[in-house]
A = this chain, B = another copy of it.
Amino acid sequence: KTTRKKVYTHSERAALCQHPLTQKLLTIMDMKKTNLALSADVTSSKQLLSLADSIGPYICILKTHIDILDDFSPDVTAELRALADKHNFVIFEDRKFADIGRTVQHQLSSGIYHISRWADLVNAHPLPGPGIIDGLKQIIKNFIIISYSPTEAIEMAEANSDFVIGYICQSRLTDNPQFLHMTPGVKLVEGGDSLGQQYTTPEDVIRRKTCDIIIVGRGITESVDPVATAIHYQQAGYAAYVSLFH
């Protein structure tokens, strides 16, 4: 069983962190009593906005894949932004940037989506090397690294702690309280899909792997009553967090 030297509460960590978005996120988590991120992987704008509005009160992060919307228009991101302010959550565009610095700059700021105009947070693979960070950093201030390669991820994050707020990972990578650990593939019941996705539980992520945020997608979006299910995940995730102090 992994144990951390010191377990900080969300508000203690908010005070320790330098990065404004990390502070904001930890404050949201503390105030709204939630470590739940909703992965809103739907292909209709109406459905996305409806999920953001109905489930917004129970989440700290709304994770989007803006490029799978079949009916995208700039109005969608404007409305998302308004809902993020209304319900106090952070918008995380899960673009998984993975190219050279100059290309990711275009992908982040140009094109149809203009991601940097409305997303609070984006992510990238560390593999293309430091140029990807340098490219993104010139355009957006908040960023998560995907830790398929933990060594590279940690190195890149520590070297850019003014910019990198954390990791997408399956278990805690570092005791540095400045970095948030977010874990995807969470369901209330373990299992998998037909394309290799494996699911883990909120209890497992927060207590055993000592990560900070559970990312839940189909467990909520494909349930019969998404709002009730989201509340269920919020409570399970937060109870696991609270139990760290007992």
Chain A contacts to B: CB under 8 angstroms? 41, 43, 65, 67-70, 72, 94, 96, 98-103, 105-107, 110-113, 125, 127-131, 134-135, 146, 148-149, 185, 193-197
Q: Which one of B41, B103, B112, B113 lies within 8 Å of A41 (CB-CB)?
A: B103
Given A96-B99, A127-B125, A127-B149, residue A106 in contact with residue B197 (CB < 8 A): no
Given A67-B112, A72-B112, A130-B196, residue A125 in contact with residue B98 (CB < 8 A): yes
Most buried by B among A112, A185, A194, A197: A112
Contacting pair A102 B67 (CB below 8 A): no
Main secondary structure, interface of A, reads: loop
CA distance A7 to B207 in the complex (A): 57
Taking the closest CB of chain B, its distance from the CB of A148, in whole angstroms, is: 4
Contacting pair B127 A127 (CB below 8 A): yes
Chain B residues lying within 8 Å of A96, measured Cβ to Cβ, are 98-99
Pairs across A and B, CB under 8 Å, 17 listed: A43-B111, A65-B106, A67-B107, A67-B112, A68-B110, A69-B111, A70-B111, A96-B98, A98-B146, A100-B196, A101-B197, A102-B195, A127-B148, A131-B195, A131-B197, A134-B196, A135-B195
Q: How many copies does the complex hold?
A: 2
Chain B residues lying within 8 Å of A101, measured Cβ to Cβ, are 193, 195-197
Chain B residues lying within 8 Å of A41, measured Cβ to Cβ, are 102-103, 106
Contacting pair B100 A98 (CB below 8 A): no
Given A41-B103, A43-B106, A127-B148, residue A111 in contact with residue B195 (CB < 8 A): no
Given A67-B67, A128-B148, residue A193 in contact with residue B110 (CB < 8 A): no
CA distance A69 to B113 in the complex (A): 10
Contacting pair B72 A107 (CB below 8 A): no
CA distance A101 to B218 in the complex (A): 14
Chain B residues lying within 8 Å of A111, measured Cβ to Cβ, are 43, 67-70, 72
Chain B residues lying within 8 Å of A129, measured Cβ to Cβ, are 196
Contacting pair A195 B100 (CB below 8 A): yes
Taking the closest CB of chain B, its distance from the CB of A163, in whole angstroms, is: 15
Chain B residues lying within 8 Å of A103, measured Cβ to Cβ, are 41, 65, 68
**Which 9 pairs of residues, A with B, have the shortest CB-CB distance?**
A131-B196, A101-B195, A68-B106, A127-B148, A131-B195, A96-B98, A67-B111, A98-B98, A135-B195
